[in-house]
Amino acid sequence: MSTQLFIADLHLEAARTAASDHFLTFLDGPARQADALYILGDLFEYWVGDDDPAAFFDPAIKRLKALAADGLKIAFCHGNRDFLVGPALAERMRAELLGDETLIEHQGQRVLLMHGDTLCTDDTDYQKLRHQLHSPQWQQAFLSLPLTQRHEQARALRAQSQEAQVSKASDIIDVNDTAVTEAIQRHRANVLIHGHTHRPARHELSIDGREVTRWVLPDWFSGGGYLRADEHGLTLIDGVH
């Protein structure tokens, strides 16, 4: 039975060296003993294009590449902060790029993987912005800008997002129950794993007469954490040691 690890919401950036250190510890420890690592979005605080040298991230990227060379399967799902990660960076990390919704199997169960932002349908302002940012026209125009301008715009969008979060009710920025149900029904999933909300938990649901588990992954603003799937089932682990 293989061991699969799931992480999300690391939000790596030069201003937060602790998160990067925790990630390197994780890669040298739990990830080295696993068969697969699924990164479910927001590995980076923001990503402005694969042509950005982004030297601060080199140690983590090189470590991922080395682990892949040793046999670790690495898969990456875009988050709301790093949706511009493209094939070039994926190749540097030796990672498979996933879609917004990916179905895998574990112990005979159908496991649906998502970042989670598309489940927050009550936040209509965010969903409109997401639609704009994911349009090919916007991305082509943005990626044609000089790197300095892209960084400026990314920082402005981040500040705008943080300001908007403060004024929104907590239930608005959490997942919508109907969106969760519909995603699970689309894939006939037994398990849903996602991040984005920064509210780590295990939720037991009953959908169409089936028992379904929804796992919310922890963020890495303190000590980090991950979900482990092995012969014993699924376990949410606090910390990276």
pLDDT tens, per residue, the chain with 241 residues: 699 999 999 999 999 999 999 999 999 999 999 999 999 999 999 999 999 999 999 999 999 999 999 999 999 999 999 999 999 999 999 999 999 999 999 999 999 999 999 999 999 999 999 999 999 999 999 999 999 999 999 999 988 888 877 777 777 889 999 999 999 999 999 999 999 999 999 999 999 999 999 999 999 998 899 999 999 999 999 988 6
Residue 134 annotated as binding? Answer: no
Residue 186 annotated as binding? Answer: no
Residue 128 annotated as binding? Answer: no
Residue 211 β-bridge partners = 206
Residue 151 annotated as binding? Answer: no
Residue 198 annotated as binding? Answer: yes
- Both tokens assigned to 241: 């040691």
Between the alpha carbon of residue 52 and those of residues 19, 36, 137, 170, 171, the distances in Å are: 20, 27, 20, 34, 36
Q: Is the dihedral of CA 163, 10, 102, 151 positive or negative?
A: positive
Q: Is 32 helix (H, G, I), strand (E, B) or coil?
A: helix
Architecture of domain 4-238: 4-Layer Sandwich (3.60)
Residue 82 annotated as binding? Answer: no
Residue 132 annotated as binding? Answer: no
Q: What is the pTM of this model?
A: 0.96
